[in-house]
Structure 1
Amino acid sequence: MPMDFVAQVYAYLQPGGIVMFPLVISSVCMWVLIIDRVLYYRQLGRDDIPLRQAVGMLAAKAAPAGATGLRAGVVTAFLAERTGDRDLDKKILDRCAMRARPSIRRALALIATLAAVAPLFGLLGTVTGMITTFDVIALFGTGNPKAMAGGISEALITTQSGLTAAIPGLFMSTYLMRRAGRLEGRLDETVAVLKRHL
């Protein structure tokens, strides 16, 4: 069954020509990154501690056991570097939050770029397919529809594939950007509350 599926996919993509290779590679890379971000955001939310518990950990000077979420990571890093000086500890807390921030936005720009590139590859395939069609018309005229069908098929398959990759990719990119924004808001809220309890 899997070999039949691979053969069907190859039979579908093969008329698209050389443009299908970068289109498929960019689509696969985009979905690998999307799945990675979805799982990472789920872990940050599921394994996190409530804000009240983060404040309690700060007061007890004990790192949360087994928690790997966003707040837990910031509290753990802060407690490892805490000095006891209130002003210095606030700066250390800011630095701990700053170190957590890049991992939230990691790969989001690349996902958006790959989603935007997919229809451009489709457009490139459309142009190359039409060039092939016009070359056939120049050689044989319009009396050979079978020869023209290859170029038209290349143009349509690459366009369809580019749009099929781009539409869900753009949707997921927007979803992940919103999710990252919510996590950054949670991070800012955590830092503000912890600073009041130092």
Structure 2
Amino acid sequence: MDGLAQVLLAFMEQGGEVLWLIAALLFVMWTLIFERVWYLKFAWKQDATKVIAKWEGRAERKSWEAKQIRSMLLSQSSMQINQFMPMIKAMVALCPLLGLLGTVWGMIEVFNVMAVTGGGDAKSMAEGVQKATIPTMAGMVAALSGVFANTYVTRIAQREGKLLWDNLTTDH
């Protein structure tokens, strides 16, 4: 194992079991964020072109039926654009909660050491405090990174939805 992997593994051990949960959640959250960024930057252009072509292929676009079809196309496109966004938001909210779970877990360890040793083993108590603070920090950092990424992806999604709405004209 190289030096970086050893340092990372030592950090994960210092943070306790909850840190592994935060790492797994962070991996899934960022996988979904990268998927949305990739989709909106590359694949969405083709999907939007298909929707616009379908709308432009209509002979008339002013009737009630045409407006309903336009509404359906926009709704389906909105679902495509925002596919994993609620899940990403939920994961962002879960990160600090898992951090707090790590805090409780570490403090239970501190109280256990105090009960067993009568409070005389400062090194063991410090390890418990460390296991309490590292997951809290990790949960907050994970949540902050997710908030910034989610804001970025949400803005792109809103912009693309607005552009599609503007392109589905009802001029004839």
User: Above 0.5 in TM-score?
Assistant: yes
Larger of the two Rg values belongs to structure: 1
5+ residue gaps, structure 2, are none
SS of equivalent residue, structure 1 residue 142: coil
1:83-137 Cα offsets, whole Å, 9 max, x none, are x455344433332232211011111111111111111111110111011101111
- Scaled by the length of structure 2, what TM-score is found? 0.87
User: 111, 130, 133: which is aligned to 1:153?
Assistant: 130
* Cα distance change on mapping 1:77 and 1:7 into 2, 3 Å: farther
Q: Tell me which residue corresponds to 1:118.
A: 95
Larger relative CO (CA 8 A, sep 6+): 1 or 2? 2
- Matched-pair contact (CA < 8 Å) for 1:16–1:155: yes
Q: CA RMSD in A?
A: 2.1
Q: Tell whether 2:170 aligns with 1:195.
A: yes
Q: Tell whether 2:3 aligns with 1:7.
A: no
**Identity, % of aligned positions:** 31
Shift of 1:188: 1.6
Letter in 2 for 1:131: I
- Matched-pair contact (CA < 8 Å) for 2:52–2:167: no
- Scaled by the length of structure 1, what TM-score is found? 0.77
Give structure 1 regions of 4+ aligned residues with deviation exceeding 4 angstroms: none
Letter in 1 for 2:22: L
5+ residue gaps, structure 1, are 48-67
User: 157, 160, 168: which is aligned to 1:180?
Assistant: 157
Shift of 1:29: 0.5
SS of equivalent residue, structure 2 residue 141: helix
Q: Tell me which residue corresponds to 1:136.
A: 113
